[in-house]
């Protein structure tokens, strides 16, 4: 088997028994990137020199019996809104196309401390605002299972790279489903941890009360192993959990007998029939594996996309105000006054999707509109938290679709209503801060991947991963690689 076909933990085992080296694995990944990049446009930059140097250092540590972790020497890639010292961090925007990160993000430092090798930075929707990875300055990414289709977004480059065997794993960010939806579209596992489980220091902010960094990989155990690396306290991120998460692979094989799984009724109502069928199959599998499946209803969940649209736009308007051509970002040359500098720098630097989001955010925060829009959205968010937490007192995990349809065509331009529908099953986890995972669970009749979503209680990722692992082992054929 070619090295790039191995799972992350399978490669780690080969590195441990010295049947391969990190340099060999890294070279294999770089060759695979060169092969698929012209088709997928998954990477924004590839750090070949830095990756090979890090791989050589990892091999030397292994030879000396000083491996930093079980993942020492395993290559990984980063979404391009996560800082890596000395590498571009563009957020796929002209506004930051020349920006080089002066330091590592907290998660990047943790990967380096574990000895992992950074391959490069991954394509995304501009400023993480999108669900298709088509809005960025560096062009659209493509789905390795169907090149004419979207890989999802905004972490579409990450999902495409992992699915195409160009990286064993990747880190993405999830504000409204940006890890889970592309994971579903590209047949990989994607986890949005609980809000605060993973530090966000050094990650370019979109909507600060919902942004979360998480791992994407080919198997549930791979994701669990990466979460163990990432889930560490960070005193410089005041919202980061002060306790380490521990091992997430330990106990993952215990099965789900006796577990209560809630089948989310409203999430099935707007889903494509093929997607709904996969979810029902997963529910039957849970019962076959010994869990009790009960139907649960969240009456307010239909309003979640509305609350998300308002809160995310308002927070984006505040966070992106720093990109003005003076302190940060692209600066227009030849402006005659400050207003012209602001207007032209931001007009040239941001794409239309980002501009639309900023206009909406500024509007809902303005005098006379704050109470009508933002305040009410915040109140609705509180009610959503109360409703879902009441339900989670009676079940262990929630089951539903990740997205209402499989991957859509690249040329598809959703209306605002369609955009809300695309996020309708994922935004609830962001508004409530709960952990949620996308698990590959079959294919449509057109051969497009379909994922199911599991959502759990806050800071109980272990239970979520245990359920996902049981379903994965019940249907391992769903890990089929793309024909690319």
Q: Are 388 and 434 in contact (CB under 8 A)?
A: yes
Cα(243)–Cα(226) distance, rounded to whole angstroms? Answer: 17
Contacts of 378 (CB under 8 A, 6+ apart): 311
- Judged on CB neighbours under 10 Å (0-12, 13-18, 19+), 401 is buried
Q: Are 298 and 266 in contact (CB under 8 A)?
A: yes
Which among 178, 184, 194, 438 is annotated as catalytic?
178
Q: Which of 217, 99, 247 has the alpha carbon at shortest distance from 155?
A: 217
**Residue 366 bears catalytic tag:** no
- Name the token pair of 389: 């937490």
Which among 79, 192, 221, 457 is annotated as catalytic?
79
CA angle at 121 for the pair 213 and 147, rounded to the nearest 5°:
95
DSSP H stretches of helix in 248-332: 265-269, 273-288, 304-319
The strand ranges marked E within 68-153 are 75-79, 117-122
**Residue 79 bears catalytic tag:** yes
Which among 154, 312, 317, 345 is annotated as catalytic?
154
For 228-240, give the DSSP string.
HHH----TTSTTS
In the sheet that holds 449-456, the strands lie side by side as 43-46, 117-122, 75-79, 169-173, 213-217, 189-192, 436-443, 449-456, 397-401, 260-264, 292-296
Rg (CA), the chain: 21
* Active site (catalytic) residues: 79, 154, 178
């Amino acid at each position: 088997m070619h090295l790039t076909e191995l799972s992350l933990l399978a490669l780690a085992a080969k590195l441990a028994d010295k049947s391969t080296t990190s340099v060999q694995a890294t070279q294999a990944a770089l060759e695979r990137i060169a092969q698929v990049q012209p088709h997928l446009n998954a990477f924004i930059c590839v750090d070949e020199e830095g990756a090979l140097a890090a791989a050589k250092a990892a091999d030397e540590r292994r030879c000396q019996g000083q491996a930093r972790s079980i993942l020492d020497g395993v290559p990984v890639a980063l979404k391009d809104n996560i800082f890596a010292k000395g590498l571009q961090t563009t957020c796929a925007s002209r506004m930051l196309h020349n920006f080089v990160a002066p330091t590592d993000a907290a998660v990047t430092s943790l990967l380096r401390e574990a000895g992992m090798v950074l391959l490069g930075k991954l394509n995304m929707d501009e400023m993480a605002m999108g669900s298709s990875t088509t809005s960025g300055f560096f062009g659209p990414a493509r789905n390795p299972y169907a090149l004419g289709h979207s890989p999802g977004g905004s972490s579409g480059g990450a999902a495409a790279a992992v699915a195409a065997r160009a990286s064993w794993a990747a880190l993405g960010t999830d504000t409204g489903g940006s890890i889970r939806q592309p994971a579903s579209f590209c047949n990989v596992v994607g986890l949005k941890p609980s809000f605060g489980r993973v530090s966000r220091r050094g990650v370019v902010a979109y909507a600060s009360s919902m942004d979360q960094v998480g791992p994407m990989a080919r198997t549930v155990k791979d994701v669990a192993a990466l979460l163990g690396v990432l889930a560490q306290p960070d005193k410089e991120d005041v919202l980061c959990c002060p306790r380490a998460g521990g091992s997430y692979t330990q106990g993952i094989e215990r099965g789900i007998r006796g577990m209560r799984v809630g089948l989310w009724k409203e999430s099935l109502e707007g889903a494509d029939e093929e997607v709904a069928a996969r979810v029902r199959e997963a529910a039957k599998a849970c019962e076959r594996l010994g869990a009790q499946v009960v139907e649960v209803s969240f009456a307010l969940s239909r309003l979640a996309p509305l609350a998300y649209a308002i809160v995310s736009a308002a927070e984006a308007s505040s966070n992106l105000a720093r990109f003005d051509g003076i302190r940060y970002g692209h600066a227009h040359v030849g402006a005659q006054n400050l207003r012209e500098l602001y207007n032209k720098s931001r007009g040239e630097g941001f794409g239309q999707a980002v501009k639309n989001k900023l206009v909406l955010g500024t509007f809902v925060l303005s005098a006379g509109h704050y109470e009508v829009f933002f305040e009410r959205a915040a109140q609705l968010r509180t009610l959503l938290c109360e409703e879902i937490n009441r339900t989670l007192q009676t079940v262990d995990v929630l089951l539903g679709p990740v997205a209402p349809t499989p991957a859509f065509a690249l040329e598809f331009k959703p209306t605002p209503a369609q955009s809300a529908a695309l996020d309708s099953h994922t935004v609830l986890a962001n508004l409530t801060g709960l952990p949620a995972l996308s698990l590959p669970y079959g294919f449509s009749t057109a051969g497009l991947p379909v994922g199911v979503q599991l959502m759990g209680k806050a800071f109980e990722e272990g239970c979520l991963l245990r359920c996902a692992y049981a379903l994965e082992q019940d249907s391992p054929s769903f890990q089929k690689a793309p024909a690319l």
